[in-house]
Amino acid sequence: MSFSTFVTDKAGLQKIYEAIVASHETYAPVEKFGKFDFKRVTTLAECDPDSPISKTQSIKPLFFPRSAKVMKYVATSAGTDVSEVDEDPLASKRVILGVKHCDARSLQVLDKVYNWDFIDTDYQKRRTNTLIISTRCDKADTHCFCTSLDYDVEKLDALDILVVNGLDGKIYLKARTAKGEEFLTEPLTRHASPVTEEIANPEMSRQYAAFDGSFRLKMNYAEVNARLSKIFDTPEFENVSGNCISCNTCAFVCPSCHCFKISDEKVRDTGVRYKSYDSCNNGYFTLMAGGHNPRPAKYRRWRQRAMHKFVYYKERFGENLCVGCGKCTIACPVNISIFEVVNQVAANV
Amino acid sequence: MNYTKQIQEIAAKLFAEGKIDVFVGYRMNGFDENQVPVLVNTADDVSKLVFTDKSVFNLVNYLKNEHTRRKRVGIVVKGCDSRSLNLMLTESQVKRENLYVIGIACEGVTDDSGQKMQNCVDCMVPDAVVFDEMLGTPAPPQNVPVSYKMNADIASLAAMPLTGRAAYFEEVFENCIRCNACRHSCPLCYCAKCCIDQETATLYNGANTTSAAFHALMTWSLHLAGRCVDCRNCEKACPSHLPLHLLHKQNESVIYENFQEHLAGVIPGDRGAFYKYSMKDPDDFIM
Amino acid sequence: MEAEVKDQLVSIEKPGLIAPPNWEPVIMGILCNWCSYAGSDLTGTSRIQYPPNIRIIRVPCSSRVDPWFLIKSLQTTADGVLVSGCHPGDCHYISGNYYARRRFLVTKKLLNFVGFHENRIQFSWVSAAEGPKFAKVVNKVTEDIKKLGPLHLYKKENFEKK
């Protein structure tokens, strides 16, 4: 199926966004305490779809909430009654503006995880009901390395509508999925003009080339992946994880981390069960009833993190789990860079 | 303020004389002019060490058990850092004979944008109060006690009406993602199992909800009251950029105004406001 | 003749939230075993009435009270908390209440700082012989909390009042 491409300018794009916000439930980056988080907006003025890379949080909480109610229960004399919680507020039809490509790409991997041994119906519902509009970044940030990994940033399918700021000053919009194709219709397209792929594709590729050239960090993914697969026992992991404080932040801000913990809030006979974020960096992540903890030392947890992100998921699902967004490095209190960690470990094999 | 050369020399000497197993200092982060903590294990890596006005992180955090247990540690401390070290020593978390402490007469550090940090502008104890060796020239002892500077943010919030403060803090607690980075980066949060992480379902507030964040942050700041040294590790670690210093400075101002206690950790052996009492403590709020 | 004007009682920290009709506050009472709890016992045996809004739990000493207890109470059913201990100088454990009163002040001020009205948590010294005083204290606290309206800040999941 061929997908439509449109061309517009800055003013036209603003009008398109305004039309979307007016007619659909929209989420976009909203600034609070210096960080941009994806929140529900009712006017375009509340948000900034072009928020700076280093200050924008991921869209993961819209698909895998930080804290989700899973069920309610009441203990009665006849047994325990388990009931569904109220309708998920995130499961209505919605549009997300201002998504970065790395965020969208992480959904591609999460789709595989949540469709694997257990079909997570909540996640599926949220995915089906969401339309993602993603602007390709013009310039890489200090910690970005998405183009070095094993996916084609230029041809992502995880987003529905692609927005590219062409180097010729025009803005190109292209549907990348059937959902996006259906969406790019009146009244949005009155602010843009259709354009053929022969004209649009070279301009978008030019932008991509400039973008690809702006990266400070580049790595040979295939080589790193191959080397890491073989060196589980290297002592180099102790060196790279020395100043980690096991604080959980990296996993919480990562767009593709999906570990969770279950906790109950109960009063006497009734309770609600929550599923919330957890992090494998936490000292108690692997603590079992009975007291055994297979990962008591910091370096073991960092080894698990690095291997998980760069080796295991490639083996199991064919896709790298880390998307190269750099959010973990930015959020880390001591700026540990997973890029540096895997390269340093691989180099010392 | 640049003591890079001196610190490299001292660390090299300590390793050469076999006096330490690990040296905790700062290194350049490798991508801009800011610095991150580093734990150096051999004399070969001593050249990584630096110390300037960008050496921000409170390194005493690495004296907790999970980082340097039973090791002999060389460490660099500024004024505030040394106060938290004093508290850790008083609370028997680390042995003095296992440490070689390089104290700094600190002139204040800057944040990522290059501006002097607010707690450095208001700092009342810039010189290290515990050290084996001091770098820089400490200020001469004051005859007149330095008067307490009320934090400007506290004063402006205290002037707001109750509903305004309630709304402001509701937003703060709503944006907390319960990552616990604040706890892990605070040198004085060394409990092996935090009280609010207990598994009992009635006590446990594990869900990442606003009410859980309120519970966690309030309990945390009250357990730190009288012990916080205002190093701002917590605030810098927070991925949601929450203004955590508001809670701690509020407690500090109440303690100062009502109990006339010294700032935490200034006097060796001093345990902090909540481990002491006085007959003159205010009683009029109690019926 | 007084005009009967029924003011709608609002939650003072969040004026948008209105108390349901016939709302009665729930007050958590944390009493030290040796003085206050015994004093409340004396109130009962003396047949002195005090409002039933208070739910009492007993601790060995007022210094057992971790600020966490107060926060937890306010997050569950309580609209207000009363903590009561021995008079200074009379603590069964000699100095517990001295440590406690420092903690109480800081906790009260911090809760006020983040948006709770200062009368939400109150403290008293009630000795084992002060039966009437305990009744007076509970009366005062109940009246104060009634004026403040229900507490709606940071309630845990199951305690969110409709």
Q: DSSP assignment of B88-117, as one string? A: HHHTTSS-GGGEEEEEEB----B-TTSPBP
Using an 8 Å CB-CB cutoff, list chain C residues near B222: 67-68, 103, 106-107, 110
pLDDT of residue A291: 87
Exposed/middle/buried for residue A79 (C-beta within 10 Å: 0-12, 13-18, 19+): exposed
Which chain B positions have a beta carbon within 8 Å of C13's beta carbon?
162-163, 166
pLDDT at C95: 93
Cα end-to-end distance, chain B, whole Å = 53
Alpha carbons C64 and C66: distance in angstroms, whole number: 6
Domain boundaries, chain C: 24-53+61-148
pLDDT of residue A283: 86
| Chain A residues within 8 A of B178 when measuring between CB atoms | 66, 276-277
Distance CA C136, CA C126 (A): 11
Alpha helices of chain C — where are they, by DSSP H?
Answer: 38-45, 67-75, 96-113, 131-148
Looking at A216, A248, A280, the residue that finishes a domain is A216
Q: What are the phi and psi torsion angles at B51 (to 5°)?
A: -155, 115
Which range of A202-211, B134-143, B194-203 scores highest in mean pLDDT? It is: A202-211
Residues A264, A160: one domain? no
Q: What was the pLDDT predicted at C62?
A: 94
Does residue C43 have a pLDDT over 70? yes
pLDDT tens for each residue of B1-12: 899 999 999 999
Quote the pLDDT of residue C90.
Answer: 93
> Mean pLDDT, to the nearest integer, of B246-260?
90
The stretch C14-27 carries a mean pLDDT of 84
Residue of C71, C102, C115 with shortest CB distance to B166: C115
Per-residue pLDDT for chain A (349 aa), expressed as one digit of tens each? 678 899 999 999 999 999 999 999 999 999 988 899 999 999 999 999 999 999 999 999 999 998 888 889 999 988 888 988 877 878 889 999 999 999 999 999 999 999 998 998 889 999 999 999 999 999 999 999 999 998 888 888 889 999 999 998 899 999 999 999 889 887 788 888 888 888 888 999 999 999 999 999 999 999 999 999 888 888 889 888 888 999 889 999 999 999 998 888 877 788 888 888 999 998 888 988 888 999 988 999 999 999 999 999 999 999 899 999 999 999 999 999 999 999 999 988 7
Cβ–Cβ under 8 Å, residues C70 and C81: yes
pTM for this structure? 0.90
Residue A145 is predicted with a pLDDT of: 94
Q: Choose, out of B42, B58, B177, the residue to mutate when testing the contact with A (most A CBs < 10 Å).
A: B177
What are the angstrom distances between the C-alpha of B132 and each of A148, A258, B129, C89?
48, 46, 10, 43
pLDDT for residue B104: 93
Q: Which residues of C touch A272 (CB under 8 A)?
A: 157-158
Alpha carbon distance A218, A224 (integer Å): 12
Point out the residue among B210, B219, B287 whose CB comes nearest to the CB of C71: B219
Domain count, chain A: 2
**B260 or C122: whose pLDDT is higher?**
C122
Mean pLDDT of chain C: 89
Structural domain including A288 reads 222-347
- In the structure, what pLDDT confidence band is assigned to residue B91 with cuts at 50, 70 and 90? very high
Do A212 and A282 belong together in one domain? no
Residue of C nearest to B173 (CA): C154
**For residue B278, what is the nearest residue in chain C, using CA coordinates?**
C98
With 60 as the cut, is the pLDDT of residue C99 above it? yes
Of A185, A216, A247, the last residue of a domain is A216
pLDDT attached to residue A242:
87
Whole-number Å distance between alpha carbons of A304 and A312: 10
Cβ neighbours of C103 in B, within 8 Å: 222, 274
Cα A208 from chain centroid? 20
Partners of B186 on chain A (C-beta within 8 Å) are none
Q: Are residues A185 and A296 in the same domain?
A: no
Query: What is the pLDDT, as a whole number, of residue C28?
Result: 95
- The pLDDT score that the predictor gives to residue B205 is 67
Q: Is the same domain home to A212 and A279?
A: no
Nearest to B239 among A67, A242, A331 (CB): A331
Residue C151, strand partner residues: none
A333 neighbors A324 (Cβ within 8 angstroms): no
Preferred mutation among B21, B60, B179, B241 to probe A, highest tally of A CBs within 10 A: B179
Task: Please tell me the predicted confidence (pLDDT) of residue C162.
Answer: 47
Distance from CA of C162 to the nearest CA of A (A): 15
Query: Are A96 and A193 found together in one domain?
Result: yes
Q: Name every residue whose Cβ is closer than 8 Å to that of residue B221 and which is 6 or more positions away in sequence.
A: B228, B244, B247, B248, B251, C110
pLDDT for residue C107: 95
What pLDDT was estimated at residue C6? 47
CB–CB contact B209 A33 (8 Å): no
Q: Residue A166 and residue A54: Cα distance in Å, rounded?
A: 22
Longest dimension (CA), chain A: 72
Do residues A138 and A237 share a domain? no
Question: What letter would DSSP give residue A90?
Answer: G
Q: In this predicted model, what pLDDT tens digit does every residue of C58-77 receive, in sequence order?
A: 999 999 999 989 998 998 88
Q: Are residues A81 and A126 in the same domain?
A: yes
Mind telling me how many Å the CA of A267 is from chain B's nearest CA?
Answer: 7
> In terms of CA atoms, which chain C residue is nearest residue B244?
C114
Residue C5 has pLDDT above 50, yes or no: no
B178 touches chain A (CB under 8 A): yes
What is the CATH code for C24-53+61-148? Answer: 3.40.50
Give the least confident one: A12-26, B20-34, B61-75, B145-159: B145-159
Residue B157 reports pLDDT greater than 80: yes
Question: What pLDDT does residue B204 have?
Answer: 61
Same domain, residue pair A192 and A251: no
In angstroms, the CA A314 to CA A316 distance is 6
Helix ranges, chain B (H): 4-16, 65-68, 79-90, 118-121, 152-158, 162-174, 181-185, 210-224, 233-237, 245-259
Chain B to chain C Cβ contacts (< 8 Å):
123
pLDDT confidence tier of residue B145, bands split at 50, 70 and 90? low
For chains A and B, CB pairs below 8 A equal 112
- Which residue of chain C has the CA closest to B211? C154
3-state secondary structure of C79: coil
Strand-pairing partners, residue B286, are C123
Q: What chain B residue is nearest to C15 in terms of C-alpha separation? A: B163
Statement to judge: residues A50 and A165 lie in one domain: yes
Q: What pLDDT shows up at residue A84? A: 84
Q: For C111, which residue in chain B has the nearest alpha carbon?
A: B218
Q: Looking at the structure, do residues A212 and A226 belong to the same domain, yes or no?
A: no
The helix or strand, by DSSP H or E, that contains position A95, with its residue range, turns out to be strand A94-99
Q: Please answer yes or no on whether C159 and A267 come within 8 Å at the CB atom.
A: yes
Say yes or no: A276 and A327 in one domain: yes
Residues A41 and A164 both lie in one domain: yes
- Contact by Cβ (8 Å): A276, A263: yes
Burial of C78 (0-12, 13-18, 19+ CB in 10 A): buried
Among residues C24, C23, C123, the alpha carbon closest in space to that of C70 is found at C123
